[in-house]
Amino acid sequence: MAVLEIIAKGILMGLGLSFVVGPALFALIQTSLTSGFKAGVRFAIGISLSDILVVSLVTFGVSALFEEETSRTIISIVGGIIMIIFGVFTFLQKMPQKGKSIPTSTGMSHLKYIGKGFLFNIANPGVWLYWVGPVSISANMGSAPIGGNMELTQRESSLLFLASLLAAVFTCDVMKCAIAYKLKTILLPKVIHIINKVVGVIFIVFGIYLVVTVFVSIPNPVNNI
């Protein structure tokens, strides 16, 4: 398998995964609408960092924790509570003032949005299951010639595939931020306020769902969230 083929496969899969609808997508759009393009990009950086961590842990078999009932219970409850908290804060956001400029960002605010994106994404149990497929595919990558007598090892090919995939997902997230920010300029503050309410409710319902599934036997959350 050629190097360019590995990169192309990673990018194509990343493009597909980036359009999966889940809590992170709503959070990314809501952040860009409410706090601006730069805040949205920082939130996307946080999501990307958590994805890198999850991919690394899944690669080393940490996803096996989900096979243990006690671990699944703790992860679902903690993740659900975090989602509910995010939902409440989003729902209670005040209506933005028309024409009001976005405050100048500081170093701490940069970290705040990155931290929010990281925590929000990694708290979703579905994210861990979401990355099991791509990691499994990467494990089946063979060695790849890179010219002369040199070639990438199987592990290097796997890392290249995952890096291309993650880069494609992050690029698409940045594009989502840009589109959402452009929409902000044409949406009335009242519409943005309603969007915050709707997104807040979505987070709260998803969080409650995660907690309830621990105690009630109902279908599990969609794995591709």
- The predicted pLDDT at position 163 comes to 93
Compute, in degrees rounded to 10, the torsion defined by CA atoms 198, 176, 165, 126: 0
Q: How many whole angstroms separate alpha carbon 191 and alpha carbon 96? A: 10
Q: Is 197 exposed, middle or buried (0-12, 13-18, 19+ CB in 10 A)?
A: middle
Residue 218 pLDDT level (bands cut at 50, 70, 90): low
The string of pLDDT tens digits covering residues 35-84 is 889 999 999 999 999 999 988 888 877 656 656 677 667 777 877 888 78
What pTM value is reported for the model?
0.75
Chain-centroid distance of CA 21 in Å reads: 10
Question: Where would I find the beta strands (DSSP E) of 75-162?
Answer: 144-147, 150-152
Distance (Å, whole) CA 40 – CA 11? 22
Higher pLDDT, residue 104 or 215: 215
pLDDT tens digits for range 81-123: 887 887 887 788 776 555 444 444 555 667 889 998 998 888 8
Q: Which amino acid is at 211?
A: V
Q: Using the structure block, give the residue that is written with the tokens 């960002």.
A: 105
